Homo-oligomer: A and B are copies of this chain.
Amino acid sequence: MPSYKLTYFDARGLGEAARLLFHLADVPFEDFRVSHDDGSWLKIKDSTPFGQTPVLYVDGQAIPQSAAINRYLAKKFGYAGKTAEEQAWADAIVDQFKDFFYVAMRPLIVAIRGGESEEAIAKIRKEVFLPGRDTYFKILNDILEKSKSGFLVGDGLTYADLSVADNLTTLEKNGLANLAEHPKLAALREKVYTQEKLKAWIASRPDTQF
């Protein structure tokens, strides 16, 4: 088996789906966490392919970009979708979050971190974030409505379920969604988090805001 090292920040964020895939598949990996604060990120930044994290090192060979990493591992471990069409749908669902993040979530984060006024933040939340979130949640709900398995694609778990479930946690932890109001999404996350191979990790993983 190759040696795997995942380099990312001490956050779930763009790195957690890969970690979940390793745990699901019972494949050992180095969970290497860098930080802005202690300089450990800047020390390795230039050695990464795109100057970004996450990076997955497979026997030392680097693979950048979170979705590419997750898809690579999902294919290796059997969580990419069972047919070409299922694979495309898993990919599409993962990319839909990226669109939602960039169009609706990032402007809010930028406003908050940029120290904008409470009024300006409230305006962005109302006019940009909430409509984007509601559109995104409707897409997920429509998919789950038609699902016979309770998973997002086909009759089994794919890496799309892992990404979506953990992104829902991030939204909830930051006061951006209340899953009690979205029972289908809550049920999906529960289904993911109670996978036998994931339970121990979910219970013991670092509790980070993002």
- A68 at interface by CB-CB < 8 Å: yes
* Contact residue among B63, B75, B76, B88 (Cβ-Cβ distance under 8 Å from A89): B63
- A102 at interface by CB-CB < 8 Å: yes
Question: Do the beta carbons of B67 and A87 come within 8 Å of each other?
Answer: no
This chain: how many copies in the complex?
A: 2
Q: Contact mask A84-124 → B, CB, 8 Å, 1/0?
A: 11011101100110100011001000000000000000000
Q: Which A residues from 125 to 145 make CB contacts under 8 A with B?
A: 135, 139
Shortest CB-to-CB span from A83 to chain B, Å, is 11
Chain B hits for A188, CB < 8 A: none
A95 to B106, CA, bound (A): 17
* Contact residue among B63, B65, B95 (Cβ-Cβ distance under 8 Å from A68): B95
Question: Do the beta carbons of A50 and B139 come within 8 Å of each other?
Answer: yes
Chain B hits for A68, CB < 8 A: 88-89, 91-92, 95
Shortest CB-to-CB span from A12 to chain B, Å, is 19
From A76, A91, A96, name the one whose CB has the most chain B CB atoms within 10 angstroms.
A91
Shortest CB-to-CB span from A195 to chain B, Å, is 24
Chain B hits for A88, CB < 8 A: 63, 68-69, 71-72
- A200 at interface by CB-CB < 8 Å: no
Question: Do the beta carbons of B76 and A91 come within 8 Å of each other?
Answer: no
- A61 at interface by CB-CB < 8 Å: yes
Extra A-B contacts (20), CB below 8 Å, given A50-B92, A69-B92: A50-B96, A51-B135, A51-B139, A58-B85, A61-B85, A63-B85, A63-B92, A64-B92, A64-B96, A65-B92, A65-B95, A68-B95, A69-B88, A71-B88, A72-B88, A76-B84, A95-B98, A98-B98, A102-B103, A102-B106
Chain B hits for A71, CB < 8 A: 88, 91
